[in-house]
Amino acid sequence: MSKKLNMTINGLPVEISAGKTILEAAEEQGLKIPTLCHHKDLCVAGNCRVCVVEVTGQNRLSAACATPCEEGMEILTNSLKVRNSRKQIIELLLAEHNADCTKCYRNGNCELQTLASEYKIMTQDFLELVPLKNYTIDAFSPSIIKDDSKCIKCQRCVRTCAELQGVNALTVAHKGDQMKITTFFEKAMRDIVCTNCGQCVNHCPTSALVEKNYIEEVWEAIANPNKHVVVQTAPAVRVGLGEELGLKPGKRVTGQMVAALKRLGFDSVLDTDFTADLTIIEEGTELLTRLKKVLVEKDESVTLPMATSCSPGWIKYIEHMYPEHLENLSTCKSPQQMFGALVKTYYANARNLEPENIVSVSIMPCTAKKYEAFRPEMHDSGYRDVDYVLTTRELAILIKQAGLDFNKLEPVKYDRLMGESSGAAVIFGATGGVMEAALRTAYEIVTGREVPFENLNITPVRGIDGIREASIKIENPVKEWAFLDGVELKCAIAHGLVNAKTVMDSVRAGTADYHFIEFMACPGGCLGGGGQPIPTNPEIRQKRSEAIYAEDEGLLIRKSHENPEIKKLYKDFLKEPLGEVSHHLLHTQYTKRDRY
Amino acid sequence: MANSHQLKRVDFIFRNENDWEKVLSTTIKKKPQELINALISSELKGRGGAGFPTGLKWKLTAESKEKQKYVICNADEGEPGTFKDREILSRVPYKVLTAMAICGYITGANKGYIYLRGEYKFLLPELNKVIDEFSYYCKEINLDFNIEIFMGSGAYICGEETALMESMEGKRGEPRNKPPFPTQAGYMGKPTVINNVETLVHSFTIFKYGAKKFYDLGVQYSRGTKLFSVSGDTPKPGIYELELGMSLQDFVYEFGDGDTKAVQVGGASGFLVPRKKFKDAAIGFKGKLTGISLPTGGSMMLFNSSRSMFNVLDNYLEFFREESCGQCTPCRVGCQQLLLGIKAVKRGEKPASYLDKLLRLTETMQYTAKCGLGQSVANSFSSIVANFREEMIY
C-alpha cells in the first residue's frame, strides 16, 4: 500500500516505505545510529546532533532522526566525516557535563556514558565548562532531584512533561551558554505544578533528573534490631524489576522478588495487591453509593462521574489543574496509603507490635508515591503511614548491593496477613486494570452474577489507546440494586496526563456522561510508571502489560471481594465498607492548589 | 572579470516615487504566472544573506494547494553591522507593503506579517500609520490582503526564518528541522513566503521597471543591486546601494581610510578578508566563474591597522555565545568552546596548536549545527584565525 523509496545505505541498495526518517530506515536494516535527544515516546527534536549522517552530495550532515527519506538518497552512516563529527559532538557534551561518572546515580545506565564508551573518548581536550557555572542541585522535592550539571539539554524531559503529561512543569529558559532546563520562575521542583510522576526521570538520558532515593534509610531500618520493617510491593513492580536485573522486558519475577526481599532482611514481605483489593471494595461501594444517591435519592450534592484516586501523580495534577473538580475524586486513599494506615493499626494489633516500632516501606513503580507518603494528612494511623517509598529501580539496587544472585532465588510466597491478593489486584498495574477490577466486583454485587465477559477478561477496557470508553449494561440486578436495572454503566479510562486533560475538559464542559473514570498519570498505567526501569518505550510497556494480564489469568482468585484476607479484615476490623473505621483510615481529602 | 568591475552606485531603493498605488494596481492585473516568471528571470536572490532564489520561493508557495498561506517580511535585522532594513522601513515602507501584497496576490496568501526587531520599536507608530493607509487602498481596489506587525523581543536567532515563525506562534524562538521548508509548512504549519525587507523592495523595483532592468545590473549569478551597511574604520559610514559583483579592492578604495587592514563581509556570521586578498574577492553570491565570492546580508565592516583581530574575533564569539539559542549541541557548546579556547591560547594556557583543534570544531559546527547560526560561526572564525593567526597567539 505505502509507497516505496529506493535508496542506498552505506552503499547497499534498500527499499524503504515513504514517510520514514533516515533513522527509522537504518533501524529497519538492523543498523543502529546513536541518538540522545531522540525517544520513541516523544516528538522529533533533532537537538543533540549525535545521529548525524552523510547524504551524498550534501556538504552538511543531516540529523537522521529528523530527516525524511527521499527517493535516490545515498546515505552514509559511518563515513569518516560522520564519525569525526559525532565524536566531537560527544566530546562537546562531555565538556559541558559533570562527567563524574563513578559518583553518579545513573552510573552504568546513562546514554551519554555509553556513547562516550563506544566512541572511546579517553581524553578531555575541550575546556571543562561545568566548573564555570555554579550549579545548584534541587533536592527539595520528596520525589525528584534535579541536577543541572548533568543536564545535556536534549529537552527530552521538557517534551515528556509537555507531550505525555501536558503539565509543562519543565521548560527551556535563557539562550546561548545560559540556556537551561528549568521551571516556572526557576522555582524549586516542590513548589511548582510538578506532579512528581517521574516521567521526566524515565526519559532523561543522564542523571540530570533522578528519583530521590531512600536506600540508606531503608538499610538502616533493616539493621535496627528494634524495628519491625514491613515491606509492601506494588502490582507493577513484579513485571518491571527483572529488567533492572538483566532480564528481558515482560518477565514476571514475583516469587523471586519476594524471596529477595526476605533475604534483604525485611521482617515481613507483603503485597500492595492486598489493599488494591481493599480499594476495589471501598471504591466500588463508594461508586454504587454515589449512583444510588444520584439516581434514586436525586441528591444533587453528589458528584458524578467518580474518578479513581490511586495514582498520586494524577491527584496532584487535578489539585493543580482542576481544583474545582476535587469532588469527582473518590475519597479512597491509594492502595499504598491504605496499606500504610493498616500496617500501623490492624497489622500492629494482630502481630502484637507497637506501631512506633514498625517501619513501613513500600516498593513502587512510581516516584509520586514518595510524595504521597509525605503528604501531611497521611498520618491516620497516628504515625506516618508509609515511612519510605522505594522505586522498582531502588529495589534492584538493594538486591545488587546485597550480592543476591536474583536468577538463582527460589520463588517464595508473600507472608500472610496482608499478603493475599487476587488477579483483580494484579491488573492494577496496567492501564484499565482498576476499572476492570472494579467492574468485576461491582457487577457481581449488583447482579449477583459474574461480569459477562469470557473468563472475566473485560477486554474493552484493555489496550494502549490513551483514552478508552466502555459500557456495561446492568440487567436483572439483585433486589437491593433494582434501581440500576437497565442502566448502562459508562466508564472511561485515561492514562498519561495529557489524556487526563482531554477527559477532564469534557467533564468540566459537562459533556462527559460517564459514571466512573480511571485516571493514571503515567503512559500504560503503573507498568510505565516513573519509578520503573529505564529505558521505557511502547514495546517495553506492551511486554510488561502482557506479563501483568498473564499473572492475573494464572491466579485462582481473580475478584477482589473473594480475597479471604479481605473478608477477614472486614470481619475482624473494618466491619463494613465505608464504615467508620474505613472512613478514618482508608479515606482522605484533597487540597486545592494553584497552578503558579 | 570580477575584479575589473567598478563600484557603481545606484538609486532604486530610496528613490522617492509616490506611485506605489499604481504599481500595485497595475501589477495585480497581470497573471501570477507572468509575475513569477519575471521574478525568476530577474535572478533576484534573497538579500538576507543566504541568497535563495526569490522567484522559486514564491513559485513553490504559489503551487501549494493549501487554502491558507502567509507572507512574512523578516524585519528582525540583527546581524552586527547591518542597519539597512531599518532605513528602508523608515524611508520607503510603502514599497515593502506593496511587494508583500503583490506576493500575496501571486501566492494566494491574504495575510502578511512584518516581524519587526524588538529594538526597532520606535518605528512602530509610523509603520502602523502607513499600514492603515495601505489597507484602505487595498480595500478600494478589492485586494484581500492585510498586514500586521509582530514585534520581536530581541533575540538574534529569531531572524532565522523557522525560529521567527516559532516566535510568532508564541513559542520559544528555536529553529525547526528542515525539511519541511516554510514554502511547504511555515507559519502555523501553512505555506509561507518569508523574505527579508530588502528582498521585498527589490521585487518592487522589478515589478515597476521590469526584470531586465534589474538583471542588467550586477554580474553573473549576482544580479541587481544591494544595500550595504558600511561601518568601522571608514570616513564614510552609512548605507549605499551598489551593484553586486564589485571587487573588494574597489570597495576599499571607495570606503577605506587608506589604512584598511581587513574587511568583514556579512557581519559576525560572514567572512573576514585581509588586505592581500582584496583584489581577488568579489561581493556576490557563489558562482562558478568568479574567484572568491562573498555573499552578504549587507554588512561591511572595515578595520584599519589599529585594530586587534583577536579582539574582533573575541567580540564576535562573545556575541554568538550569547545569541545561540542553545538548542543544538554543536552551536551551544561549540560557541562557548571557541570563545574560551581563543582566550586560553592568548593567555598561554593552551598551545598554539589548540587553534587547529578549534578550526576542526568549527568544521563540525558547520556540518552539524541545526541552523545557519551555528553553521556560519565557522566563517568568521576560520577566516580570522587563518589570516591573522599570529594575532591570536601573541
Q: Are residues B212 and B72 in the same domain?
A: yes
Structural domain count, chain A: 4
d(CA B372, CA B78): 14
For residue B198, tell me if it sits in a domain.
yes
Split at pLDDT 50, 70, 90, the class of B18 is confident
Q: Are residues B236 and B205 in the same domain?
A: no
pLDDT, residue B286, reads 78
Q: Count A/B contacts: CB-CB distance under 8 Å.
A: 113
Q: Are residues B199 and B277 in the same domain?
A: no
Q: Burial of A511 by CB count in 10 Å (0-12 exposed, 13-18 middle, 19+ buried)?
A: exposed
Minimum distance, in Å, between the CA of residue A541 and any CA atom of chain B: 29
Q: Are residues A176 and A110 in the same domain?
A: yes
d(CA A241, CA A549): 16
Instruction: Choose one of A408, A441, A463: the last residue of a domain.
Output: A408
pLDDT higher than threshold 70 for residue B1:
no
pLDDT higher than threshold 50 for residue B2:
no
Tell me the average pLDDT across B156-179: 96
Spatial strand order in the sheet of A228-233: A268-271, A228-233, A358-364, A388-391
The CATH number linked to B384 is 1.20.1440.230
DSSP string, B13-41: SS-----HHHHHHHHTTS-HHHHHHHHHH
Beta bridge pairs of residue A329: A307
Q: What are B52-84's pLDDT values in tens digits?
A: 999 999 999 999 999 999 999 999 999 999 999
Q: Are residues A566 and A524 in the same domain?
A: yes
pLDDT higher than threshold 80 for residue A270:
yes
According to DSSP, residue A410 is labeled: P
Q: Are residues A306 and A160 in the same domain?
A: no
Q: Which residue of A has its CA nearest to B317?
A: A176
Contact at 8 Å (CB) between A266 and A231? yes
pLDDT, residue B293, reads 85
Q: Are residues A349 and A252 in the same domain?
A: yes
Q: Are residues B182 and B76 in the same domain?
A: yes
Catalytic (active site) residue A369: yes
pLDDT, residue A452, reads 85
The CATH number linked to A342 is 3.40.50.1780
Chain B: residues touching A (Cβ < 8 Å): 155, 157, 172, 174, 177, 179, 320-330, 332-337, 340-341, 344, 357, 360-361, 364, 366-370, 375
d(CA B210, CA A347): 93
Contact at 8 Å (CB) between A548 and A235? yes
Mutate to test the interface with B, among A97, A127, A163, A180 (most CBs of B within 10 A): A127
Minimum distance, in Å, between the CA of residue B130 and any CA atom of chain A: 34
Q: Are residues A357 and A395 in the same domain?
A: yes
For residue B4, tell me if it sits in a domain.
no
pLDDT, residue B3, reads 42
- Work out the number of other CB atoms within 10 angstroms of the CB of residue B125: 8
Instruction: Choose one of B169, B193, B216: the last residue of a domain.
Output: B216
Q: Are residues B110 and B240 in the same domain?
A: no
A47:B327 CB<8 A: yes
Entry pTM: 0.94
Instruction: Choose one of B280, B304, B328: the last residue of a domain.
Output: B304
The CATH number linked to B62 is 3.40.50.11540
pLDDT higher than threshold 90 for residue A456:
no
Q: What are A25-54's pLDDT values in tens digits?
A: 999 999 999 999 999 999 999 999 999 999
Residue A126 in contact with partner chain B when CB distance is under 8 A: yes
Q: Which residue of A has its CA nearest to B359?
A: A88
Q: Are residues B354 and B367 in the same domain?
A: yes
Percentage of chain B lying above the pLDDT 70 cut:
97
d(CA B387, CA A465): 61
DSSP 3-state of B261? strand
For residue B229, tell me if it sits in a domain.
yes
For residue B2, tell me if it sits in a domain.
no
Q: For chain A, what is the mean pLDDT?
A: 95
Q: Are residues A111 and A129 in the same domain?
A: yes
Q: Are residues B161 and B30 in the same domain?
A: yes
pLDDT, residue B8, reads 87
Tell me the average pLDDT across A281-288: 94
State in Å, rounded, how far the first CA of chain A is from the last one.
Answer: 49
Backbone angles phi, psi at B350, to 5 degrees: -125, 145
Domain residues for A469?
A: 280-331+421-586
The CATH number linked to A43 is 3.10.20.740
Cis, bond preceding A355 (omega within 30 deg of 0): no
Split at pLDDT 50, 70, 90, the class of A596 is confident
Q: Are residues B44 and B193 in the same domain?
A: yes
Strands B292-294 and A358-364: unpaired
Reference B115, options B80, B79, B81, B71; nearest CA is B71
Q: Are residues B273 and B360 in the same domain?
A: no
pLDDT higher than threshold 80 for residue A2:
no
Split at pLDDT 50, 70, 90, the class of A410 is very high
For residue A33, tell me if it sits in a domain.
yes
Q: Are residues A428 and A535 in the same domain?
A: yes
For residue B12, tell me if it sits in a domain.
no
Minimum distance, in Å, between the CA of residue A76 and any CA atom of chain B: 14
According to DSSP, residue A531 is labeled: T
* B330 closest CB neighbour out of A92, A153, A179: A92
For residue B278, tell me if it sits in a domain.
yes
3-state helix, strand, coil in chain A (%, to 5): 45, 15, 40
Q: Are residues B139 and B30 in the same domain?
A: yes
* Residue at grid coordinates 475519597: A331
Q: What are A62-101's pLDDT values in tens digits?
A: 999 999 999 999 999 999 999 999 999 999 999 999 999 9
d(CA B271, CA B276): 14
For residue B11, tell me if it sits in a domain.
no
Q: Are residues A404 and A432 in the same domain?
A: no
Q: Are residues B297 and B319 in the same domain?
A: no
Decide which of A257 and B221 is more confident: A257
Q: Is the dihedral of CA B93, B94, B96, B100 positive or negative?
A: positive
Instruction: Choose one of A366, A387, A408: the last residue of a domain.
Output: A408
Contact at 8 Å (CB) between A88 and A57? no
pLDDT, residue B295, reads 85
B122, three cell numbers:
520606535
Catalytic (active site) residue A283: yes
Domain residues for B140?
A: 19-216
Decide which of B241 and A459 is more confident: B241
Q: Are residues B133 and B240 in the same domain?
A: no
pLDDT higher than threshold 50 for residue B4:
no
Q: Are residues A225 and A269 in the same domain?
A: yes
Instruction: Choose one of A379, A408, A437: the last residue of a domain.
Output: A408
* Residue at grid coordinates 533522578: A210
B90, three cell numbers:
523608515
For residue A460, tell me if it sits in a domain.
yes
Radius of gyration of chain B (CA): 21
According to DSSP, residue B167 is labeled: H
A502, three cell numbers:
482531554
pLDDT higher than threshold 80 for residue B17:
no
pLDDT higher than threshold 60 for residue B288:
no
Structural domain count, chain B: 3
Minimum distance, in Å, between the CA of residue A502 and any CA atom of chain B: 22
